[in-house]
Amino acid sequence: MTRFARHLQDVTITNPFPGLPRLEALIGRNIVSRIGSNESLPLAEHTVSQLWGETLYELARLYPDPYAGAVRQRAAALNGVTAANVVVDAGADSLIALFLRARVSPGDVVVCTAGTYPTFRYFAEGVGARIVEVPYAETEGVLHNDLPALARAAREHDAALLYLANPDNPTGTFQHTDAVRTLQSQLPADCLLLLDEAYIDFCAEGERQGVLPNTARLRTLSKAHGLAGLRVGYTIAPEEWTSKVDQIRTQFAVSSVAQAAAVAALDAPHCSQQLIDTTLQLREALAAALLQRGLQLLPSHTNFVAIVYPDADSALARQKTLLAQGVAVHRPPHPSMQHVLRVTAHPDALQNVVLDALSGA
């Protein structure tokens, strides 16, 4: 049996405002007058229309589809699943929080890698979870998620949820689909695998399609579609999970503007492919430049490069040098990862002044 948070296990919550698209489907015709939604009247020469045009103003003025149906349909087609297997929310971060709320009761154990994407821990603490961290494994100098150790920890602690970023953030390393499927099969029967695939579009080896058992696969339009500021993400999961999280999701979290932009982006895959190709070229150029300066890198399957320094002080010194120049690079906050700097594949990163600072020249 699929296991949810205790207070949700035997409860069905009904959304009081399912939105006009669902009403149209129910009555079998289009709504031509929205006089039940209490939206504001259109104002001639509204400041938003003056700054950004009437199209954006009209989107901003009207309530969005609470279920982001158009985005769901496109995400489903892209991933070879049905719309019932997709949930849209305000970015992958919101989806992490949503699935934690749906599965974890206060005191339940969640498992993750020590030093992985820190927002997971931030949200897990917020739902009252007990967090068990497993160190990264190191193979020939490469840090990577230790899948057997994660599975053992989940079984030993009877974990409610296991979080895995794949490709990983901040290391950039990747676990192949067969290894992830093996991991899922080794978890307790009622342990949800929260599989964060925010960077999967930059990974040539990544399997993008399909529903995995008792697994929520998180995707974002922030990275490979260029919509980070609009906050759009989606999950691919078994229908029993999408149905449950829809009951507790903030229904109007994804704005009309964000939904329209997401539809436009998903309808133009050539734009995403161009962005991916350009990013991969920059990533390879950045890696080559850093290697030429004698720096130790982790193999990246993302839109960034992770540099491993001998110790935290070395990484901090280089970060401070760059900050003094107005350049921000990321140093993971977890104590076990503070000897690493994460640098986005971007033309700015290829400037000699940045490369020299990163190498301590």
> What are the pLDDT digits (tens) for 20-59?
999 889 999 999 999 899 999 999 999 999 999 999 999 9
| Total tally of structural domains belonging to the chain | 3
Give the largest Cα separation in the chain, rounded. 69
The percentage of the chain sitting over the pLDDT mark of 70, rounded to a whole number, equals 100
- Distance from C-alpha of 300 to C-alpha of 353, rounded to nearest angstrom: 23
Angle, helices 269-292/256-266, rounded to nearest 10 degrees: 80
Same domain, 143 and 248: yes
Which residues, including other chains, have CB under 8 Å from residue 270's CB and lie 6 or more apart? none
Specify if 170 maps to a domain. Answer: yes
Cβ atoms of residues 125 and 181 within 8 Å: no
Same domain, 56 and 114: no
Could you report the per-residue pLDDT of 301-319, keeping only the tens digit for each?
999 999 999 999 999 999 9
pLDDT mean over 248-255: 96
Q: Which domain holds residue 340?
A: 270-359
User: What per-residue confidence (pLDDT) applies to 361?
Assistant: 74
Same domain, 49 and 78: no
Residue 204: band (very low, low, confident or very high) from pLDDT cuts 50, 70, 90: confident
* CATH number of the domain that residue 194 is part of: 3.40.640.10
341 phi, psi to nearest 5 deg:
-115, 135
User: What per-residue confidence (pLDDT) applies to 148?
Assistant: 98
The percentage of the chain sitting over the pLDDT mark of 90, rounded to a whole number, equals 95
Residue 238: band (very low, low, confident or very high) from pLDDT cuts 50, 70, 90: very high
Q: Kindly tell me if the per-residue pLDDT of 6 is higher than 80.
A: yes
